Amino acid sequence: MPARRSPSAARRPGRRPGRQRSTLVALPAALALLALPATVPAATIFGTPSSDLRLKATSPAGDTIYTDGGHDVVQGGPGPDVIYGEGGHDRIFGGGGNDRLDGGSGTDQLAGQDGDDTLTGDVGADRLDGGAGNDVLQGGPDLDRLVGGPGDDQLDGGSASDQIVAGDGNDTIDATRGQDVVDAGPGDDTIYANGPNMAKKLDCGDGNDVLHVSPATVVGLRERGRIIDCEQLVVAPLAADPLRGVHISTSDWADGTVTGSAGNDELYGGHGSNTILGLGGDDIIFGDNRPDNGGPKARHQRDVLRGGDGNDTIYGGRNGTKTIYGGAGDDYLQGGFDANVVRGEGGADTIRLVGNGRNRAYGGEGDDTIQTATKIRAFVDCGPGNDVVRYGSVKPRTRNCERKIDAWAAHKRKLRAANEARNAAKRKARRRAQG
């Protein structure tokens, strides 16, 4: 994951001599917020223990405020304020400026409001609302709710099961440590869910989003949760178990990219135009995730399916134009029901063409077997190697093919032989009956 601004990079500074400070006494909760004079430049304020502080900062230079242990309400001013909630259940509002808000322990509510703010929930079940601006929101070890708002925000729920709502903008979301529920919202978002824990739900929302997931996360989401509207899925293989495969699919109608791992993967496309990359391992790839449920939109999809290394099995699916690359290894490649371009590339591949549209097959290197279904019209270039073409009732146009077998004629010969044997048995039975 790319480096991000750390909300905890600057923690509570020491109370050094010579810094301006004020000590605030407890105020009745019914009173309005106590406003610091606007003429005070960049004050450092310390609350009293066990007091409920009500304070509004007004300095355009920015104030530093420590509330101490009460249940406090603090409103930041127009400057870049630094506000520490310390203990207690606090409500802290940043106001204008690029503020840094730290709730401390307790169940806190932090609102950045305007500016590029940094909010840290710390201990306790907190609510963090970034507001306008490019904000950084950092949850803690408890159940937090993070709301990014407008702007390009960075949100990290922490180690518990958090709720993350990114809002508008091109946001970056870290959901690697807890069982989070993520709603990325509009914008081109990047979501990291490739940690050891399994997220409960990942909704990428509108925009061209990228979801980074681990094999364990994907398998868990298939069994217990959901991935919604995520255009590009990047699977990060587990270093401890590089042979472990994944099962992953795109959204039903989304155009997206699915990337497998070094293991043995099972990858499904949606009804949109998909690019599926198997990478290493013996992969199984389906161009459609519901091969029995097409529709007019599905017929316009254009899928690119690449097996990569390993002995792969690739099915083009029911609808749309398919371009299939077997890659290295001995692959089984079956085109879709419409137009297809199938390239075996390296290895001893088996290619089967079943589409009603324009079909082209290129065997590539290796001893390949290429089959065309009955009544399928196709062009076949077998390439280097000792290759075999088996065709149905329509003979394909061929090039560089060592053997061509009329499978339909052979099938008819078998049918005739079976009929002749059956008729001979009937005649023999009648003769026996006649004595």
pLDDT in tens, 59-99: 788 888 888 777 889 998 899 999 988 778 889 999 999 99
Residue 291's pLDDT band (boundaries 50, 70, 90)?
A: very low
Residue 270 has what pLDDT? Answer: 65
**Percent residues over pLDDT 90 in the chain:** 33
Residue 117 has what pLDDT? Answer: 95
**What average pLDDT does range 220-244 have in this prediction?**
54
Where along the chain do its domains lie?
Answer: 20-133
Residue 253 has what pLDDT? Answer: 38
> Looking at the predicted structure, is the pLDDT value of residue 10 above 50?
no
> Looking at the predicted structure, is the pLDDT value of residue 127 above 70?
yes
Residue 37 has what pLDDT? Answer: 52
pLDDT in tens, 148-207: 999 999 999 888 889 999 999 999 998 888 888 999 999 999 888 866 666 778 888 888
Residue 6 has what pLDDT? Answer: 40
**What average pLDDT does range 348-366 have in this prediction?**
91
Look at the alpha carbons of 11, 12, 15, 21 in this order and tell me if their dihedral is positive or negative: positive
pLDDT in tens, 259-272: 877 878 778 776 66
pLDDT in tens, 397-425: 999 999 998 877 776 777 788 888 888 88
Residue 147 has what pLDDT? Answer: 97
Q: Is 433 left (phi over 0), alpha (psi -120 to 50) or beta?
A: alpha
Residue 17 has what pLDDT? Answer: 36
Residue 221 has what pLDDT? Answer: 56
Find, among 59, 48, 52, the residue nearest to 74 by Cα: 52
Backbone φ and ψ of 303, nearest 5°: -105, 145
pLDDT in tens, 114-125: 999 999 988 889
**Highest mean pLDDT pick, 13-27, 40-54, 179-193, 217-231:** 179-193
**What average pLDDT does range 340-367 have in this prediction?**
92
Residues contacting 29, CB < 8 A, separation 6+: 52, 54
> Looking at the predicted structure, is the pLDDT value of residue 360 above 90?
yes
Contact (Cβ atoms closer than 8 angstroms) between residue 300 and residue 329: no
Residue position matching structure tokens 């992969």: 283
Residue 275 has what pLDDT? Answer: 87
Cβ-count burial 2-20 (b if 16+ within 10 Å, e if not): eeeeebeeeeeeeeeeeee
397 vs 24, higher pLDDT: 397
**What average pLDDT does range 136-144 have in this prediction?**
91
Residue 406 has what pLDDT? Answer: 84
Dist CA 374 CA 226 (whole Å): 40
Residue 301 has what pLDDT? Answer: 74
Residue 42 has what pLDDT? Answer: 63
Structure tokens at 239: 């270093």
Cβ-count burial 357-388 (b if 16+ within 10 Å, e if not): eebbbbbbebbbbbbbbeebebebbbbebebb
Structure tokens at 372: 């065309």
Number of Cβ atoms within 10 Å of the Cβ of 134: 19
Residue 308's pLDDT band (boundaries 50, 70, 90)?
A: very high
**What average pLDDT does range 284-301 have in this prediction?**
57
Residue 51 has what pLDDT? Answer: 62
230 vs 72, higher pLDDT: 72
Q: For all residues of the chain together, what is the average pLDDT?
A: 78
Residue 223 has what pLDDT? Answer: 46
Structure tokens at 228: 């919604």
Residue 161 has what pLDDT? Answer: 86
> Looking at the predicted structure, is the pLDDT value of residue 392 above 90?
no
Residue 30's pLDDT band (boundaries 50, 70, 90)?
A: very low
Can you give the chain as a three-state secondary structure string?
CCCCCCCCCCCCCCCCCCCCEEEECCCCCCCCCEECCCCCCCCEEEECCCCCCEEECCCCCCCEEECCCCCCEEECCCCCCEEECCCCCCEEECCCCCCEEECCCCCCEEECCCCCCEEECCCCCCEEECCCCCCEEECCCCCCEEECCCCCCEEECCCCCCEEECCCCCCEEECCCCCCEEECCCCCCEEEECCCCCCCEEECCCCCCEEEECHHHHHHHHHHCEEECCCEEEECCCCCCCCCCCEEECCCCCCEEEECCCCCCEEECCCCCEEEECCCCCCEEECCCCCCCCCCCHHHCEEEEECCCCCCEEECCCCCEEEEECCCCCCEEECCCCCEEEECCCCCCEEEECCCCCEEEECCCCCCEEEECCCCCEEEECCCCCCEEEECCCCCEEECCCEEEEHHHHHHHHHHHHHHHHHHHHHHHHHHHHC
Between the alpha carbon of residue 20 and those of residues 44, 45, 46, the distances in Å are: 6, 8, 10
